Amino acid sequence: MKMHGLGNDFVVLDGRAREFDVTPALARAIADRHRGVGFDQLALIEARGAGDAHLTFYNSDGSTSAACGNATRCIARFLMDETGRDSLTLTTDRGTLYGRDMGDGITSVNMGAPQLLWNEIPLAEEMDTLELPIEGVPTATGMGNPHCTFFVPDAEAIPLAEFGPRYEHHPLYPERTNVQVASVIGPDHLRMRVWERGVGLTLASGSSSCATAVAAARRGLTGRRVTIDLDGGRLQIDWRDDGVWMTGGTSHVFDGVLTAAFLDSAR
């Protein structure tokens, strides 16, 4: 299936009926927008774990990620439509996540509690995660994957194609990091752009939105419930006692079949 959340696009493989061996080479081949299908992340649905399904995520460079918020929301929408239910439980390498149907095609997912300690994110050494010793004093947050959020006067003015890779590979982040630039529009409103680890520029990112909302609240820039405007659209983020809830729309674009010849060429 090809899906997207605010233009953050995914290929979703339904492995509940048959097993898939997703290698880094296969992920990269499917990700190729000229010779494959193209995606920001690939997600594999499997019938294992304690929840309704288990999700595994791959970046377009073939690396894995424990979390992918927009893909989780897309798949939650698909599974709720399939079963007629209005809530479900999904397991990931990030942990157990919960999805809810909010009506009118809107889906909400609890992305879990943010990781705020240096060794949870992780960072290379012990430090205060609220203001990192990096030019621009960004905030570090973990959402099952690492994030580095810069608060700037104008997110539109940052040359993110140059800025993002510089910090994705910063030595303070041993597993690389997602990079966000965000501007405060109001006490409950942010404008954010994102450079995703292992992917590059994307129109939206769910986990990045959650991390940015948490960072803004920790720094006293906003409350814990905010609207975030991304290049691809708008998300609602609510940092509650039980986790960070992300709410927004999703799109299921088409279903397809990968040919045997393509799969053989990608081995």
List domains and CATH numbers for the chain.
2-111+250-265 (3.10.310.10), 139-241 (3.10.310.10)
Phi-psi region of 49 (alpha: psi -120 to 50; beta: other; left: phi over 0): left
Q: Could you tell me the CA-to-CA distances from 25 to 20, 42, 76, 255, 262 in Å, in that order?
A: 13, 12, 27, 22, 12
Choice among 68, 74, 148, 210 that is catalytic: 68
User: Would you state the torsion angle of the CA atoms of residues 144, 145, 146, 152, taken in this order, to the nearest 10 degrees?
Assistant: -100
Looking at the whole model, is its pTM more than 0.85? yes
Q: Is 119 annotated as a binding residue?
A: no
Q: Is 70 annotated as a binding residue?
A: yes
Q: Is 267 annotated as a binding residue?
A: no
Q: Is 125 annotated as a binding residue?
A: no
Distance (Å, whole) CA 78 – CA 131: 39
Beta bridge partners of 239: 244
Which alpha helices (H) appear in 153-194, and where do they start and end? 160-168
The pLDDT value recorded for residue 17 is 85
Maximum CA extent, the chain:
54
Q: Is 197 annotated as a binding residue?
A: yes
Residues 6+ apart with CB under 8 A from 206: 5, 8, 68, 69, 70, 71, 72, 73, 109, 111, 235, 246, 248
Residues 6+ apart with CB under 8 A from 25: 62, 266, 267
Q: Is 243 annotated as a binding residue?
A: no
Both tokens of 5, joined, read 């959340």
Q: Which of these, 96, 76, 78, lies nearest to 87 by C-alpha position?
A: 76
pLDDT tens string for the chain (267 positions)? Answer: 999 999 999 999 999 988 888 999 999 999 999 999 999 999 999 999 889 999 999 999 999 999 999 999 999 999 999 999 999 999 999 899 999 999 999 999 999 999 999 999 999 999 999 999 999 999 999 999 999 999 999 999 999 999 999 999 999 999 999 999 999 999 999 999 999 999 999 999 999 999 999 999 999 999 999 999 999 999 999 999 999 999 999 999 999 999 999 999 998
68 is catalytic: yes
